[in-house]
């Protein structure tokens, strides 16, 4: 199977009304676990690398592994650059074979976000690379009090502005802020599904949910019903796997080698990702 363009994959998900998991990876074991899950579930998948994770694994090291794994997978795989803020990193990812990039200029003034995003779209589309961008601000804390969410609401994506943004930039997917946050939730999230539905009615591109860890099955599926087609999932996955490995090490009585731990990680990643693919309803859609 060749690496596929994210626009085409998300458009199919829009027609069939399902979501596609986008799983950040930071090493070979995670790559193998995600691909194994997708093949077992016969599900399309988005394998992604976040620019913020470059301290865990340099892009120039992990990117060729990701692209090779995607090319040899039995299911459609998008190789995506997540939350890129630098032009050089985006060019590097496209050069090595990524089929999709996210330009995150959401911290800029609105007109600067448009101009920066539009420039990336111009280059990427010439190379058959899809582009995701963000409007609104995704908080980096794992939840909080009602006051926290009251403050957070001021950063949510405005439906009318979203329409203008998509029209002026020509992006293929829009990451929106409607109450999810990055990291592991410390309190129950407050999700504004009414706002999400309004955004979906205003724009003609698939929506992306960042901060997709730790939600209930209902919340995932309600987001999908309201236009979300790409669901980013990393923090809970990484946390759960690390703690499962910790428990296994504490219980193990025989000699253990790091290679044994790698096999544990692959299996744990695979099972967690498989469970999310079933919730997102992408199983059997490859």
- Tell me whether strands 130-135 and 173-176 are parallel, antiparallel or unpaired: parallel
- Tokens standing for residue 155: 């950063």
Active-site annotation holder among 29, 68, 82, 104: 82
Q: Which residues contact 230 (CB under 8 A, 6 or more apart)?
A: 6, 10, 19, 20, 22, 46, 132, 173, 206, 207, 208, 209
- Tokens standing for residue 72: 């040899």
Closest CA to 191 of 215, 164, 169: 215
* 169 neighbors 118 (Cβ within 8 angstroms): yes
Q: Which residues contact 200 (CB under 8 A, 6 or more apart)?
A: 207, 226, 227
For 154-214, give the secondary structure using H, E and C.
HHCCCHHHHHHHHHHHCCCEEEECCCCCCCCCCCCCCCCHHHHHHHHHHCCCCEEECCCCC
Tell me, yes or no, if 147 is annotated catalytic.
no
* 32 neighbors 69 (Cβ within 8 angstroms): yes
Closest CA to 221 of 10, 41, 16, 18: 18
β partners of residue 23: 47, 233
- Report, as residue numbers or ranges, the catalytic residues: 82
């Amino acid at each position: 199977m060749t690496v596929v363009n994210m626009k085409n994959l998300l458009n199919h998900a829009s027609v069939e009304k399902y979501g596609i998991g986008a799983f950040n990876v930071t090493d070979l074991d995670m790559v193998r676990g995600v691909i194994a899950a997708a093949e077992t579930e016969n599900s399309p998948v988005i394998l992604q690398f976040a620019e913020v994770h470059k301290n865990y694994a340099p892009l120039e090291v992990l990117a060729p592994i990701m692209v090779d794994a995607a090319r040899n997978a039995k299911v459609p795989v998008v190789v995506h650059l997540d939350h890129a803020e630098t032009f050089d990193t985006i060019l590097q990812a496209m050069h090595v074979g990524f089929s999709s990039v996210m330009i995150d200029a959401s911290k800029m003034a609105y007109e600067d976000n448009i101009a920066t995003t539009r420039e990336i779209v111009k280059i990427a589309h010439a190379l058959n690379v899809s582009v995701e961008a963000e409007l609104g601000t995704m908080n980096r804390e794992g939840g909080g009090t009602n006051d926290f969410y009251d403050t957070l609401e001021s950063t949510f994506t405005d439906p009318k502005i979203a329409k203008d943004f998509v029209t002026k930039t020509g992006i293929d997917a829009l990451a929106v802020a409607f109450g999810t946050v990055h990291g592991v939730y410390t309190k129950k999230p407050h999700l504004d599904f009414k706002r999400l539905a309004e955004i979906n009615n205003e724009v003609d591109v698939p929506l992306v949910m960042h901060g997709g860890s730790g939600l209930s099955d209902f919340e995932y599926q309600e987001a999908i019903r309201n236009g979300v087609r790409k669901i980013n999932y990393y923090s809970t996955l990484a946390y759960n796997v690390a703690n499962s490995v910790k428990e296994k090490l504490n219980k193990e009585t025989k000699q253990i080698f790091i290679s044994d731990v790698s096999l544990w990680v692959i299996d744990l990643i695979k099972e967690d990702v498989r469970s999310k693919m079933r919730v997102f309803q992408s199983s059997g859609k490859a």
